[in-house]
Every structure is written in C-alpha cells, then in structure tokens.
Amino acid sequence: MNPLFCRAVVALLASLPIIAAGAASLRAEDAPFTRTEDVIYGRKYGTALTMDVFTPKENANGVGIVFAISGGWFSAHEAINVGFIREFLNRGYTVFAVVHGSQPKFTIPEVLEDMHRAVRFIRSKADQYKIDPNRIGITGASVGGHLSLMQGTAGTLGKPDAKDPVDRQSSRVQAVACFFPPTDFLNYGKPGENAIGRGVLKDFRAPFDFHEYDNKTRAFVPITDEERILTIGRSISPVNHVSNDDPPTLIIHGDADLLVPIQQAELVLGKLKEAGVPTELVVKKGAAHGWPDLGKDISTLADWFDKHLAKK
C-alpha cells in the first residue's frame, strides 16, 4: 500500500479522536444503540460482502443512512468509526456501515456494483430494519463521498424478473450529504486534467487498473485501449450522470484540498443546480483533505438529512 494513500486514510480515521474515544468507552449494554456486525449483503468470487447495522434503541425515525466505508477505494471492517456516525444515531437514524470489495483487489467499477447491491439489500430488508424504503440517505468522506454521489446520480431501478429478489429492488437514494468527493476524473482540478490513476492520483493506480474476463484465455486481462479507459473514466465520474431526478445533495469541502480539489465539488453541484436539484456547498476556509475538528461538521450532514428525509 503506498504511503500517500495510507496517510490519507489514517488522517481521515484519526480526525474524530475525541468522539471516537467516547464511543469506545461505552459498554454495549450502555450504548444508546445496538450494533449488528458483519451482516452479509452479497457475495462475489466466494467472498462475503458485509455491513454493520446500527439501530437506535429509542426514538428511531424510520430513516436509513448508508455510510460508505471507503478511503482511496480501500475498505475494511476495522475502519468503521462509531464516532463518525454517533450524531446520526442520536437523531434516530438507522445507519448501515457498508464495507465494499477493496482495492488493490477490486477496481472502481466493481466497487460501484457492491454499493448498488448494498442499497438494494437494505431496501429489501426495510421491514426488518423498520425503515421507510423511500427514505434512504447516503454519506461518506473522500472516496466515500465519491461513492455516495455515484449512488445519488447513477442509482438504478431493480430488475422485476431477477432471480434474486434483492436485485428486484432499486438502488436509488433520496438524499446525499458528504465530504470532499472526487467527481470528474477527466477534468480533475482543471479542464482536461486526466486523473484516472494518473497525475494527482498517480499513487492510486490499483483501483483504476481496469480489466475484463477473456473467454478465450479464461483469464482476466488488462484493458489497455486508451479510448476504452477514458470511457470507463467517464462512467465512474458522478458529474456525467446528473439528471433532474437526482436527490438533494450537500458537499462539505476544504478550499485548500490538494488531493481532491474543491473544483470537483463545484463541478458536480453546478450541474445538479442546473438540473433543478437542491444543492449546497459548505466551504471550509483553509482546510485541506480533512481537518482536526471535522467531527463538528457531521451535524451539518445530519441537518441536511433532517431537512430532506423527515416525514412531511
């Protein structure tokens, strides 16, 4: 794992030290929520895909929040930070902390498939989790924000004739609120800047190592054709999926972010606004990719969900 990636993930996870410590000190029976670990939402290549489900013990409001556990398209169960989601739980949200197939083993298109599957699974279990299937929000930071926006702009309807009942469900969400997300890999920081594992993101090669299965050789082979790579790059960029039926979207972004330029937030929110979608950009002056008191801004995300997911 490259040092830049590790530092970015560690910085993000360490950004809530006080809140996280408080959560860790609680015994399970004293916590105001229950946590069900390693719920299997799908399987691929013999591997289980899991999420942890956090349910408020009191005042549950019937709304589900998907929390994309991801930094640099790396995802792991141990990266679930209870401190990050405590504010949502305090307000009555049921939180689904989703762990996706991680880089360097899986690429971004494969990760996106996992996120679709997770939302479909959650919606299929709405009765079990006592949530409204039509009131699901999604959040995350950095790449977790990218995945949130992809779900918001590119969620799809289910297939009515699918053999698996989960696949009959929609993967669309009804609100997005996230931190500093990549949104356009072909215009990254400035028009025409290619960041498909290049340039600023050159140390993140693995998730952009696109490949396909060759029936002749019965092996996965890399995709090397530049035009196909660019096509995939466009398909994994939320900015290219914006439409007027996308959900209300909030982004919090630092204007001194060098890893994910604030221009990325401005691009996608500009297109959403043009499409008539409610949007908001909260600019953190002088902040880079994460900041020491980031935990205080989680309430802003929760306010957004309160506004757009509360029952009218």
| Buried b or exposed e, range 145-174, using 16+ CB within 10 angstroms | bbbbbbbbbbbeebeeeeeeebbbbbbbbb
Instruction: Give the pLDDT confidence score for residue 287 in this predicted structure.
Output: 96
Report the DSSP beta bridge partners of residue 96.
53, 66
Exposed/middle/buried for residue 303 (C-beta within 10 Å: 0-12, 13-18, 19+): middle
H or E element in which residue 115 lies: helix 108-124
Per-residue pLDDT at 7 exceeds 60: no
Other Cβ atoms less than 10 A from the Cβ of 231: the count is 12
Place of tokens 């946590």: 35
Q: Which domains does the chain have, with CATH numbers?
A: 3-309 (3.40.50.1820)
Looking at every residue in the chain, the average pLDDT score rounds to: 90
Angle between helices 17-24 and 82-90 (to 10 degrees): 80
Over range 298-311, report the average pLDDT: 94
Report the candidate in 80, 99, 62 with the shortest Cα–Cα distance to residue 16: 80
Instruction: Give the pLDDT confidence score for residue 93 in this predicted structure.
Output: 97
Report the candidate in 65, 58, 80 with the shortest Cα–Cα distance to residue 9: 80
Instruction: Give the pLDDT confidence score for residue 28 in this predicted structure.
Output: 58
Over range 38-64, report the average pLDDT: 95
CA pair distance 39, 35, nearest whole angstrom: 10
Give the contacts of 69 (CB within 8 A, at least 6 positions apart): 75, 76, 77, 79, 80, 97, 98, 99, 100, 140, 144
CA pair distance 139, 294, nearest whole angstrom: 14
Place of tokens 């939180």: 95
pLDDT tens per residue across span 127-171: 999 999 999 999 999 999 999 999 999 999 999 999 999 999 999
SS3 186: coil
